[in-house]
Amino acid sequence: MTRKYSRVDEAIFREIIEPIEHGDVEDARAEFDIDAIAEKVLGDVDEGFACKVTVDEFWKIVEENAR
């Protein structure tokens, strides 16, 4: 089930920053272009925001947006 967030900053934190920092990365914002990732992986849904890509697509996008 897709999780939906009412605020984009919460969606960015939960769907992008937390998964990245769950591994070896301590500061996702320093190592990746989080705004670019958010544009590609988050979408508007029912007055909120949710991840619109698969797990594999997510990690490919993350790699493409390394600083």
The pLDDT tens digits of the residues spanning 9-58 come to 999 999 999 999 999 999 999 999 999 999 999 999 888 999 999 999 99
Q: What is the pLDDT of residue 45?
A: 86
Round to whole Å and give the CA distance between 12 and 38. 6
The reported pLDDT for the residue numbered 46 is 85
The SS3 call for residue 63 is helix
d(Cα 14, Cα 7) in Å, to the nearest integer? 11
Total Cβ atoms within 10 A of residue 22: 9
Q: Is the pTM of this model over 0.85?
A: yes
Is the pLDDT confidence value at 4 over 70?
yes
Place of tokens 């705004």: 35
Query: pLDDT band for position 1 (50/70/90)?
Result: low
